[in-house]
């Protein structure tokens, strides 16, 4: 019985305190409801914290590449030379199926088409690594880095070797 009385008293105190907050002169309407000055300050502080978080995230993130930017870059690459993109895709598919001969032929065809094609050198390096020819794989990965120093797979392959 005492517990129920305590709960009822707490409910009355909460009701009265909330009722007094809505009577203050500094009222704000959020989503159609009137909010007192206390809650207004809470929401302002929340917005300030969110702005600070956004600023902190954006600071120092200039080099981060979003998945959307990667998709755009892939589309540009495919638009600039769709034949080369098709050859590299087929080589990657053949490598995934462990058809090393087909993958190697397609990668070499890509290199003949564009001697600065870093993804083709990466595929050649993967094939050489799977065959156990680590010196050849290392040279292929180094060539990929020379063609494009931003190819992470080449550094990964060199690290594995």
Query: Given this model, what pLDDT does residue 149 score?
Result: 87
d(CA 101, CA 107): 10
What parts of the chain have a pLDDT lower than 50? 23-25
CATH number of 82-160: 1.25.40.10
Query: What is the token pair recorded at 50?
Result: 């969110």
d(CA 109, CA 81): 14
Query: Given this model, what pLDDT does residue 24 score?
Result: 47
Query: What is the token pair recorded at 108?
Result: 């070499």
Query: What is the token pair recorded at 82?
Result: 């769709």
Q: Which residues contact 109 (CB under 8 A, 6 or more apart)?
A: 87
Helices (H), the chain: 2-21, 37-58, 67-80, 82-96, 100-113, 118-131, 134-147, 152-160
Query: Given this model, what pLDDT does residue 51 score?
Result: 80
Locate the domains of the chain by residue range: 82-160
């Amino acid at each position: 019985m005492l517990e129920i009385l305590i709960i009822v008293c707490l409910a009355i105190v909460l009701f009265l305190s909330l009722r007094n907050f809505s009577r203050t002169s500094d009222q704000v309407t959020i989503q159609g409801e009137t909010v007192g000055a206390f809650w207004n300050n809470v929401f302002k502080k929340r917005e300030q914290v969110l702005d600070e978080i956004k600023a902190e995230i954006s600071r120092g993130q200039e080099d981060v590449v979003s998945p959307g930017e990667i998709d755009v870059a892939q589309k540009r690459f495919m638009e600039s030379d769709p034949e080369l993109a098709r050859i590299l895709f087929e080589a990657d598919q053949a490598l995934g199926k462990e058809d090393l001969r087909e993958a190697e032929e397609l990668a070499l065809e890509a290199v003949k088409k564009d001697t600065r094609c870093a993804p083709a050198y990466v595929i050649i390096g993967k094939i050489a690594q799977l065959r156990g020819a680590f010196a050849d794989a290392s040279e292929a990965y180094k060539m990929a880095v020379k063609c494009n120093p931003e190819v992470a797979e080449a550094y990964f392959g060199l690290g594995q070797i």
